[in-house]
Structure 1
Amino acid sequence: MSYIDGFVIAVPTANRQKFIEHARQLDPVFIELGALRVIEGWGDDVPDGKLTDFRRAVQATADETVAFSWVEWPDKATRDAAMKKMMEDPRMQPSHPDHPPMPFDGKRMIFGGFVPVVEVKA
């Protein structure tokens, strides 16, 4: 069964295009290292909740949009091996000349790995 890494990020709304460019440059590395697909979603209908919500989870301000992203892997072993390689890959290092600057505050990103327990397809 597959394995999913999920990410929720607060991105300055003015940085939307920079976010897309950042993803287009770095997301192919996930694929190269074995990911099946990468999805980058830009918040479109992200309502405020009464107790909690996506915006509060990442402390998004009025001038930020919530991005929701995930990486689908064939299995956890592939993901774990890829993450190790990614940390060693010079292209993923902010000091690398081709590494685009992060267009968001990475300290407020929330992320985690998930084992799918139900999958329904059309």
Structure 2
Amino acid sequence: MSTYVDGFVIPIPKNKVAAYKKMAKLGCKTWMKHGALAYYECIADDVKAPYSLNFPTMCKTKKNETVIFAFIVFKSKAHRNQVNKKVHKEFGEMPGAENFAMPFDVSKMAYGGFKTLIQG
């Protein structure tokens, strides 16, 4: 079975992690309700690998920031598009959605859709 993954790398102020976690729990509940196969939100722990570019360096994080690595798994790109359409519709219909402030700088977030190359 081949899958499709939406991936995110997000530098975030350490003092905003609790607010992000609250938002991520809602995201998880909503994406899973609409058919995502899996939903992960991960926070940097062991990211100072000396043999490669590490996430904090890549994201140009400041001392008061950490990095979130997140991904959502779908059956296919078409399935991703169907699920995301439902999720974005639901979020757009939430009371107060127009005034919601993200707990991180959205312009520093990296996002992409990925075809699965190998799956174990």
**Coarse TM-score class (shorter-chain normalised):** 0.7 to 0.9
Q: Please, what TM-score do these two structures have when normalized by structure 1?
A: 0.82
Counterparts in 2 of 1:14-93, with a 5 A limit? 14-47=15-48, 52-89=53-90, 91-92=91-92
Deviation of residue 51 (structure 1)? Answer: 7.1
Identity of aligned residues (%): 28
Deviation of 1:45 (Å): 0.9
SS of match in other structure, 1:117: coil
In 1: Cα distance, 2:34 partner to 2:59 partner:
28
Residues in 1 aligned to 2:92 and 2:26: alpha-carbon distance in whole angstroms: 10
**How many pairs were matched up?**
118
Q: CA deviation at 1:96?
A: 3.8
My pick for the range that moved more, 18-27 or 60-69, is 18-27
Change (3 A) 1:105 1:96: farther
Give the superposed CA RMSD.
Answer: 2.4
What stretches of structure 1 of length at least 5 have no aligned partner?
none
Show the counterpart of 1:97.
96
Q: Which runs of 5+ in 2 are unaligned?
A: none
Structure 1 runs (4+) deviating above 6 angstroms are none
Alpha-carbon distance between aligned partners in 2 of 1:57 and 1:115, rounded to the nearest angstrom: 22
- Output the TM-score relative to the length of structure 2: 0.83
**Displacement after TM superposition at 1:114 (Å):** 1.0
The alignment partner of 1:23 has SS state of helix
1:1-30 per-residue CA deviation (whole Å, 9 max, x = no partner) reads: 111111000010111111110101222221
Deviation, structure 1 residue 53: 2.8
- CA shift, 1:87, in A, is 3.4
